[in-house]
């Protein structure tokens, strides 16, 4: 069984089989790379979301600890310290902060400090519950309000 160029049919089948195995290997590697890419993307997004909500809780709780007194209002929280007050609130998926002295301003303007869908601070018997939500990630921390005593 001689072929046109002097190669046998077995050589042709062997070459075709080798190319098929290489193609199969390439497709498997492509599937693995795409799957790993999606997995990494999801892990990265979850990490960023978790970091962001944890950072908001740490920031707000540290600001509350450094204040002389804290007032929870409908607009957000007001931190009083040495004649300068700070209003922290959440609006349109962002957390803002505004320093002021004198009358409490409206929760508008200010500096954007974080992205979050919800910031909620509830005071109950001297304990503050700070809840932050970004997407599906919700973090809550309790803070005892013993500062300034």
Specify the pLDDT at position 23. Answer: 95
Residue-wise pLDDT tens digits, 34-77: 999 999 998 988 787 778 888 899 999 999 988 888 888 888 89
Domain range annotation of the chain: 39-144
Res 102 pLDDT > 50: yes
Cα–Cα distances in angstroms (integers) from residue 102 to residues 80, 83, 84, 86, 105, in the given order: 11, 8, 8, 11, 9
Residue-wise pLDDT tens digits, 117-142: 999 999 988 899 999 998 888 889 99
- Which H or E run includes 83? none
Q: Do the bridges between strand 118-124 and strand 127-134 make them parallel or antiparallel, or are there none, so unpaired?
A: antiparallel
Instruction: Please state the pTM of the whole predicted model.
Output: 0.68
Average pLDDT estimate for 4-23: 82
Specify the pLDDT at position 136. Answer: 83
Q: How far apart are CA 40 and CA 21, in angstroms?
A: 28
pLDDT band for 149, please (50, 70, 90 cuts): very low
Mean pLDDT over each residue of the chain, to the nearest integer: 86
């Amino acid at each position: 069984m001689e072929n046109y160029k002097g190669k046998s049919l077995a050589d042709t089948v062997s070459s075709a089989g080798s190319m098929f195995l290489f193609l199969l290997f390439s497709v498997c590697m492509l599937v693995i790379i795409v799957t790993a890419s999606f997995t990494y993307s999801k892990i990265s997004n979850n990490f960023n979301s978790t970091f962001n909500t944890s950072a908001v809780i740490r920031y707000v709780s540290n600001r509350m600890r450094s204040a002389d007194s804290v007032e929870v209002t409908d607009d957000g929280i007001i931190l009083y310290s040495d004649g300068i007050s700070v209003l922290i609130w959440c609006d349109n998926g962002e957390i803002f902060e505004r320093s002021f002295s004198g009358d409490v301003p409206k929760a508008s303007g200010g500096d954007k400090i974080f992205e979050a869908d919800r910031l909620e601070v509830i005071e109950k018997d001297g304990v503050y519950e700070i809840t932050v939500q970004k997407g599906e990630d919700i973090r809550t921390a309790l803070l005892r309000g013993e500062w300034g005593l």
